[in-house]
Amino acid sequence: MPFGMVRPSPCCTVHPNSGWLPMPTPVNGFAQVLVSGTGGGPKYGNILIMPTTADSVATSCPDLRKSEEMQLGYYAAAMQQSGVHVEVTAARRASFYRLSYPANARKRQLLIDAGFFLGENSEPGAREAQEFVGSQVRVISDHEVEGYSRIRGGWNNGSAYTVYFYATTDQPFSQSMTWKSGKITDAQSQYDSGEKTGAILCFDGNEQKPVRLKVGISFVSEMKARENCLNDIPSWSFEQVRANLVNTWEHLLHKIEIDPATPEAQKRMFYTALYHTMLMPTDRTGDNPLWRSSEPYYDDFYALWDTYRTSMPLITLIDTERTASLVRSLIDIYRHDGYMPDARSGNCNGRTQGGSNAEIVIADAFVKGIDSGIDYETALRAMLKDATVPPGGNEEAEGRGGLVEYNQLGYIPHGIPRAGNRTVEYSYCDYAIAQVAKGLGYEELYQKYLRQSANWKNLWRGDYTDNGVTGFIMPRSKSGEWLDSIGFGKETMALADHPILKQYRFPYTPTTIEGPWYYPWWNCFFYEGTSWEYSLSIPHDFDGLITLCGGSRAFEARLDKFFDGGYYNPANEPSFITPLLYHAIGKPWRSSDRILEIIGKYYNDSPTGLPGNDDSGAMSAWLAFNMIGIYPNAGQDYYFIVTPTVKRTVLHPAPGVTFTISADNLSDKNRYIASMSLNGKPYPYSAIRHSDIAAGGTLVLKMTDKPGNKMINMLPQ
Amino acid sequence: MPFGMVRPSPCCTVHPNSGWLPMPTPVNGFAQVLVSGTGGGPKYGNILIMPTTADSVATSCPDLRKSEEMQLGYYAAAMQQSGVHVEVTAARRASFYRLSYPANARKRQLLIDAGFFLGENSEPGAREAQEFVGSQVRVISDHEVEGYSRIRGGWNNGSAYTVYFYATTDQPFSQSMTWKSGKITDAQSQYDSGEKTGAILCFDGNEQKPVRLKVGISFVSEMKARENCLNDIPSWSFEQVRANLVNTWEHLLHKIEIDPATPEAQKRMFYTALYHTMLMPTDRTGDNPLWRSSEPYYDDFYALWDTYRTSMPLITLIDTERTASLVRSLIDIYRHDGYMPDARSGNCNGRTQGGSNAEIVIADAFVKGIDSGIDYETALRAMLKDATVPPGGNEEAEGRGGLVEYNQLGYIPHGIPRAGNRTVEYSYCDYAIAQVAKGLGYEELYQKYLRQSANWKNLWRGDYTDNGVTGFIMPRSKSGEWLDSIGFGKETMALADHPILKQYRFPYTPTTIEGPWYYPWWNCFFYEGTSWEYSLSIPHDFDGLITLCGGSRAFEARLDKFFDGGYYNPANEPSFITPLLYHAIGKPWRSSDRILEIIGKYYNDSPTGLPGNDDSGAMSAWLAFNMIGIYPNAGQDYYFIVTPTVKRTVLHPAPGVTFTISADNLSDKNRYIASMSLNGKPYPYSAIRHSDIAAGGTLVLKMTDKPGNKMINMLPQ
């Protein structure tokens, strides 16, 4: 379900990030709570169910798949050893399974494993590993089981979260057993003694009807899980549950209607992308164990660093109420937890990658006029907290690490992890604060943060040349010297004090992405990127960037070298906006060329149709925007206009409002925009304001086979 | 029970800190989880039970007490309106009630209120207020109810904690009902929808036997609460449960045997004090919802700031295993939560008062040779984290607020809350770190932290005179200037920016304890004390203090003025050690004079026999130590020797070890120590090493009516 609390999936061996792996990896069972489209250490994988037909009882019965099938709201697998055909669909807070045991099965069993989770590691406290805290199960009738799984750690190094469940079947158990730490007994319950527990349910061997199973989930209690289960899935009809789900999606997906004549492969790419964009974060309104509030509650911002650029703006484009809910939930987390998250999962803030990017999400909503109950005054206080109060020992969890130095020096010096991208991103976040401060009438704050938004320039080493390009963001010491080589920073004291390692430094150049083996990757100058990438990643100050790069001509040459020289990384967010930068020098047709090339090369409609993992839909949303010919610059109120891949798109930004993008004569050959009209009037720009789309209307693109030949301004000056 | 998870008590109206208030305040009912001997905003007050005999049903039935009775492990109250005689005793994790309804009662009802808690406030997010998060109840048989209460906030502004309960009676319910948000229904359960819930249990009106009720508690789950309940209280015998409790206490209280001829009032004072010392913190081993560990788990360090000086050392004196457990749990909290607590309650660190005093607790255990599985290497890392990693936005929760400035300037400048006592206490904590570093062989660390332990001198304004005394710890600006008046600090920005208030400054003198009404008391220069008090509160550097005060003679005069001039506050910890400071100038008889005077004036065996609240037993432990003639200096391995109030004390510092303190000829007149012998040999000092006591032996004090007349060293030089 869109933003649903359950995301059921097979959990496969070995080391999946969120459960599913391609065949033939064995399936441990089907978990209810998982993330979607993420990377790094896993999170969740809770409340595993697994049908078996084994003669003996066991607490774990991994099985292979003979085949599997995936559709919207439907996953099915034919299990090899047990012969069971498992089908699953879902409501918002409950999974629904139809388990068809083979007719000749001597036993029809079902395991409910409350101790299972992803990412176990034998080393205590291992980074990004999930750690078991406790679990319990209780058979409460001949067709009902409840219990929970309590886990800590995982990708965001979070504190303990508890997934409560209520499971019920349409057929009575002919027998039920439970286990604790692998020991199976006839006891009908297992209390939490810090050990793994589960239940084994047996069904009458002669019954041939499939077993239907509902598993409701809550983060509050077993009884709330029951309430969620029976509320969200009142019936026993698998088809009805699935139809509800499909209808919900259809309603959302229809908010962007692309030309019915679009080739199937492109349709699949587009609507899959739109679907991926609306799986995460997770709407847990009503299931927050931490505080009571009238505000919405979302978890699994995983991470805003990934999603603020594209998936959040895509949600805003088609569902402003959802955006308002998301923003309100960020503010409510600040109210109760002290900081807005940059990432959050399992009811716990963490980990920050670079910026405090909730600022950009809020500014984006603000400049696009999203209102719907957002308390922007409190939002501004939350943003200012990020920008003024160091998170201290919690700087991997929230706020801005290195803030003291950033505010003192105007940049983050070497010695603090991720000094490069933190400086770049804090500048961008400061720009976001400035926008909101200005809009709310705080002129002094606006001026202050606008000044700070230029801080990225303090790491600009203007005379540094690499492969013919001059000017890069490079490491700098606290005392202001540029560093050509770097050693350990202060957060890696243990290694920095190591008698042998401490003497080593390694050269840092604009192509360095990782340090040597002994250098923790998490602490490098840039996070998941090179200086070639980050030095062009200044979405809030194109003019400043072009000037420092030596003007338009040098900038264009640099962009060309960036793409043609292999510096561009399509698989991660820092370079998302770079192909659009030709717009900033008046040559939007060159942006379109780059984007069409990137889509053609890295995106398709196969299971591996994205470059890298989806990052909670960020990659998908990049594709979806570019396919319809507009692309956002988060925190600002416009979209770049590029050549779409679909001829005609009808957007429904609000009920009753229609905005059409129509590319006349679009073809592989006619790939350039000769001219445009907006609502019948000539539109001689290369970007369009959000308000023009929100108001409804028609943007007609007249296509030609000739690239542009005169500079085009992005927007009216 | 010692360090028990339940501390049942009536919860009285209005605004009790931990439940009980003197008659005639009305009783809401009897809660299971409470703190003991604390001040400030309340915490807990969970799972309220209340018997009633009203004709109608209601969700709340406050009643007055006709009488009440308190004994070790026993509380009883005769309720006025209902006529019920309520008796309660307890095991470690379960309360046991005997409810004797009047013979003529038409109805015999019992309310179990899962929504009740102390410290509710209508203002959302009010400081120190507890806030409701959720609750649930479920009648699971005709004699069992389970559920939970989830609350956040309270004194330490903690995140949400959940108290699960399992309640069972020896008589079946003839009828049971539940309520949600005040609405009573026949439903047998109420799931958690963020509303207050409870159960009404009715018993057969003709039955004349009292209803026995067990209420088990867990912080993990209802089923664990059941396990705790039935494990800790297998029988239905009230007398047996009570006898178990009394035996457990007797075993502990016998570790210090005072002269049987001691007057009753003094016996009551002493053993009540010993009892108070061993109620808190709470042993929650096996009931930690946050992580799984083989280490012990304690909560309700409330606060170490209060207890490190006296109650922790008193526990160490008689129960080194308990001290080892407490220290191990502090280290395990660091391992899993990132910082050791200075205070902790409801499974959440906070609030820090001044120092990061876990350092002193650890150093005290270390120098006293407590081993028993304590990982001192990890302990040192935990201490160094406090001393090097700023807690940032969490500086009220853990670590050292103002650390950046402290480490940069060697003191905390004005503008940071509690700059005065934080500087003084961090110096002391640094001394503690130095001791452990030295003992573990880290010479460089030892030297570094020993140097830092002199940081208190950086706030010593040597030329400042008040009432004839010169030299005080006074506010200082970041640039080094002494401040005679102060305004708002940076943490009170909202007020600091107030157009009227921002112009006001108020004079700060050595007698200032609070700012004017518009100044948040929490942010003053010293926490709960004046400069007169804190300027003498340097337990780790008597020599340095005496020197800065102008030498022994000036120091003695200053002490005299301190006590005789009304600057001494017996009701709070900062001055706990001050009466002992005459020892440091070789005049221990003068310390004894002061202490006997203080005991006589402020302590007695009545319900109001302590000066102020007990601070988790800190006040009581101060009394207990001084009554037996020794007093610790936390973090160092000796005790001051003073005139005891009891003639003979037999200590059992370990199984089979006996240390006797005997004051020959002690009387009101013979109140001075003429000479001493240790194990038969003359002992010409005024303090004794912990190792001498731990080894067993006899210290004989020869008493006289004449004060000393020559300087006595505290310990062999």
How does pLDDT run across A327-358, given as a tens digit for each residue? 999 999 999 999 999 999 999 999 999 999 99
Q: Nearest 5 degrees, angle CA B106-CA B111-CA B117?
A: 150
Coil, strand or helix: which one is B280?
Answer: coil
Residue A541, amino acid: D
Q: List Cα–Cα distances, A73 to A271, A606, B563, in angstroms.
A: 14, 18, 78
DSSP E strands, B264-378: 282-283, 298-299, 344-345, 348-349
Residue B228, amino acid: N
A291 → closest Cβ in B133, B391, B395 = B133
Coil, strand or helix: which one is B717?
Answer: coil
Q: Nearest 5 degrees, angle CA B370-CA B373-CA B375?
A: 90
What one-character-per-residue DSSP string does A11-49 give? Answer: EESS--SSS---TTSPEEEEESB--SS--SS----BSEE
Distance, CA of B491 to CA of B495 (rounded, Å): 9
A572: which DSSP letter? S
Q: Check CB contact of A150 with chain B, cutoff 8 Å.
A: yes
Q: What's residue B500's pLDDT?
A: 61
Residue B152 φ/ψ, nearest 5 degrees: -130, 170
Residue B83, amino acid: G
Distance, CA of A655 to CA of B586 (rounded, Å): 87
A395/B395 touch (CB, cutoff 8 Å), yes or no: no
Residue A153, amino acid: G
Residue B683, amino acid: Y
Q: Check CB contact of B478 with chain A, cutoff 8 Å.
A: no
Out of A324-328, B422-426, B525-529, least confident range? B525-529
State the nearest Cα–Cα gap between B124 and chain A, in angstroms: 10
At B324-355, the pLDDT tens digits run 999 999 999 999 999 999 999 999 999 999 99
**Chain A, nearest residue to B395 by Cα:** A392
The whole-number average pLDDT for the span B107-114 is: 97
Q: Exposed, middle or buried: residue B686 (CB in 10 Å: 0-12, 13-18, 19+)?
A: buried
Q: Check CB contact of A188 with chain B, cutoff 8 Å.
A: no
Residues in A touching B397 (Cβ below 8 Å):
none
From the candidates A144, A394, A405, which should be mutated to test the interface with B, based on the most B CB atoms within 10 A? Answer: A394
User: Higher-confidence residue: B398 or B490?
Assistant: B398
Q: Check CB contact of B189 with chain A, cutoff 8 Å.
A: yes
Confidence of residue B505 (pLDDT cuts 50, 70, 90): confident
Q: What's residue A494's pLDDT?
A: 47
Coil, strand or helix: which one is B197?
Answer: strand
What one-character-per-residue DSSP string does B469-525 give? Answer: EEEEE--B-TTS-B-SEE---GGGHHHHT-TTGGG--EE--TT--S--TTS-GGGSS
Residue A444 has pLDDT above 60, yes or no: yes
From the candidates A136, A287, A291, A294, which should be mutated to test the interface with B, based on the most B CB atoms within 10 A? Answer: A291
Do the strands B197-203 and B108-113 form a parallel or antiparallel pair, or are they unpaired?
A: antiparallel
Report the complex ipTM: 0.95
Q: What's residue B103's pLDDT?
A: 92
Q: Which region, left, alpha or beta, applies to residue B254 given φ > 0 means left and ψ of -120 to 50 means alpha? A: alpha
The whole-number average pLDDT for the span B159-184 is: 98
Q: What's residue B415's pLDDT?
A: 85
Distance, CA of B183 to CA of B249 (rounded, Å): 43
Residue B503 has pLDDT above 70, yes or no: no
Residue A153 has pLDDT above 80, yes or no: yes
At A588-598, the pLDDT tens digits run 999 999 999 99
The whole-number average pLDDT for the span B367-375 is: 96
Q: What's residue B498's pLDDT?
A: 61
At B248-281, the pLDDT tens digits run 999 999 999 999 999 999 999 999 999 999 999 9
At B409-451, the pLDDT tens digits run 999 998 899 999 999 999 999 999 999 999 999 999 999 999 9
Q: What's residue B492's pLDDT?
A: 45
B220 → closest Cβ in A134, A138, A399 = A134
Do the strands A197-203 and A108-113 form a parallel or antiparallel pair, or are they unpaired?
A: antiparallel
At A453-482, the pLDDT tens digits run 999 999 999 999 999 999 999 999 999 999
Give the distance from CA B146 to its chain's centroid.
31
Residues in A touching B227 (Cβ below 8 Å):
191, 193
Confidence of residue B488 (pLDDT cuts 50, 70, 90): low
The chain-wide mean pLDDT, for chain B, equals 95
B152/A291 touch (CB, cutoff 8 Å), yes or no: yes
Distance, CA of B673 to CA of B658 (rounded, Å): 22
Residues in A touching B160 (Cβ below 8 Å):
289-291
- Residue carrying the six token digits 């807005």: A340
A150 → closest Cβ in B193, B289, B339 = B289
At B632-690, the pLDDT tens digits run 999 999 999 999 999 999 999 999 999 999 999 999 999 999 999 999 999 999 999 99
From the candidates B191, B284, B334, which should be mutated to test the interface with A, based on the most A CB atoms within 10 A? Answer: B191
Q: What's residue B490's pLDDT?
A: 52
Distance, CA of B205 to CA of B555 (rounded, Å): 73
At A351-372, the pLDDT tens digits run 999 999 999 999 999 999 999 8
**Chain A, nearest residue to B389 by Cα:** A393
Asked if residues B107 and B54 have their Cβ atoms less than 8 Å apart, the reply is yes
This prediction has a pTM of 0.96
Q: Exposed, middle or buried: residue B576 (CB in 10 Å: 0-12, 13-18, 19+)?
A: buried
Q: What's residue A139's pLDDT?
A: 98
Q: What's residue B493's pLDDT?
A: 44
State the nearest Cα–Cα gap between A159 and chain B, in angstroms: 7
Q: What's residue A489's pLDDT?
A: 57
How many Cβ pairs within 8 Å bridge chains A and B?
Answer: 126
DSSP E strands, A598-668: 630-632, 638-641, 648-651, 659-664
A393/B385 touch (CB, cutoff 8 Å), yes or no: yes
Residue A195 has pLDDT above 50, yes or no: yes
Asked if residues A424 and A351 have their Cβ atoms less than 8 Å apart, the reply is no
Residues facing A9 on adjacent strands: A31
At A651-707, the pLDDT tens digits run 999 999 999 999 999 999 999 999 999 999 999 999 999 999 999 999 999 999 999
Residue A58 has pLDDT above 60, yes or no: yes
Q: What's residue B290's pLDDT?
A: 98
Q: What's residue A487's pLDDT?
A: 76
At A207-225, the pLDDT tens digits run 889 999 999 999 999 999 9
Q: Check CB contact of B612 with chain A, cutoff 8 Å.
A: no
B133/A395 touch (CB, cutoff 8 Å), yes or no: no
A394/B394 touch (CB, cutoff 8 Å), yes or no: yes
Residues facing A456 on adjacent strands: none
Q: Check CB contact of A134 with chain B, cutoff 8 Å.
A: yes
A 10 A CB-CB count for A479 gives: 7
Distance, CA of B309 to CA of B311 (rounded, Å): 7
Residue A488, amino acid: F
Q: What's residue B40's pLDDT?
A: 87
Q: What's residue B20's pLDDT?
A: 95
Q: What's residue A491's pLDDT?
A: 42
Q: What's residue B125's pLDDT?
A: 84
Q: Which residues, at least 6 apart from B500, have a Cβ–Cβ distance to it below 8 Å? A: none
Confidence of residue A499 (pLDDT cuts 50, 70, 90): low
A152 → closest Cβ in B125, B290, B398 = B290
